[in-house]
Amino acid sequence: MAVFECSRCGLCCMNFGDLIRIERGVSDIEFYCRFLVTNELFRARVMPEWREAFADTAEMDAHPAWCRFLRRVPGGTGFVCTIHDSNASICRDFRCCVMRIYNGSGTQVGKIGGNRSLFTEDEKLKEIYRERVMDLKAGDMKEWLAKSAGVFSSAGFRVVVYDEG
């Protein structure tokens, strides 16, 4: 298995604005927050290297759906969680991609998200997923990924499955 490396696209956090609520500020860099789906209360602390970026709230005001701790990487591309070391358990457990799927020429044509959803524009891949993968029975995610990888491979695709850790 390969180890997944985050590309810092920010997509995982761009819809958490309504799900993670700041309940009380302890200071301008420390907060009590609640993940509203599970009611988890956690203490978030802005990491020293991201405090300047966190202080800039202009973009946050323009994007109320974003998690309040998501910021664009200053001077670069991508995004960063400014509380990565103290974020909610949902953030630590979330996997945006558990498998990448490539066609015969080596071009990525799809990926499987952590909730077993397929993301692709490839019609053949969609059909294989609907007919042979979507309803696969498996005891756990590791077994499901192995079975899914076998199906995609037998159909001529190359897959890279990412380790959970």
Whether 112 and 99 have beta carbons less than 8 Å apart is answered as yes
Q: What is the distance between the alpha carbons of residues 158 and 132, in angstroms, rounded to a whole number?
A: 16
Using alpha carbons, select from 130, 114, 150 the residue that is nearest to residue 122.
Answer: 130
133 within some domain = yes
Give dist(CA 96, CA 116) in Å, integer. Answer: 10
Q: Is the pLDDT of residue 101 over 90?
A: yes
At residue 118, the pLDDT reads 92
pLDDT mean over 109-121: 89
Given pLDDT bands bounded at 50, 70 and 90, which one contains residue 1? low
Give the model's confidence band at 49: pLDDT under 50 very low, under 70 low, under 90 confident, else very high. very high
Q: Which domain holds residue 34?
A: 20-93
Q: What is the pLDDT at residue 60?
A: 81
Q: DSSP for 117-161?
A: -EEE--HHHHHHIIIIITT---SSHHHHHHHHHHHHHHTT-EEEE
Local confidence band at 161 (pLDDT 50, 70, 90 cut-offs): very high
Q: In angstroms, how far is CA 136 from the centroid of its own chain?
A: 23
Q: Are residues 154 and 118 in the same domain?
A: yes
Last residue of a domain, one of 67, 93, 119: 93
* Position with higher pLDDT, 12 vs 39: 39
What length is written for the chain? 165
Residue 141 has pLDDT above 90, yes or no: no
Instruction: Tell me the mean pLDDT in the region 20-37.
Output: 94
* 49 and 88 part of one domain: yes
| Number of domains into which the chain is organized | 2
Residue range 75-86: mean pLDDT, rounded: 88
Span 59-84, mean pLDDT?
88
Q: Which of 52, 71, 93 is the last residue of a domain?
A: 93
Domain co-membership, 104 together with 86: no
Burial 54-68 (b: 16+ CB within 10 A, else e): beeeeebeeeeebbb
Q: Is residue 82 within 8 Å of 54, Cβ to Cβ?
A: yes
Q: Please state the rounded mean pLDDT for residues 45-69.
A: 90
Same domain, 108 and 72: no
CA-CA distances (angstroms) from residue 136 to 27, 51, 158?
49, 45, 19
From residue 143, give the alpha-carbon distance in Å to each of 16, 131, 149.
29, 18, 10
Give yes or no: residues 77 and 24 share one domain: yes
Query: In the predicted model, is pLDDT for residue 165 greater than 60?
Result: no
For the residues 63-89, what does the mean pLDDT come to?
89
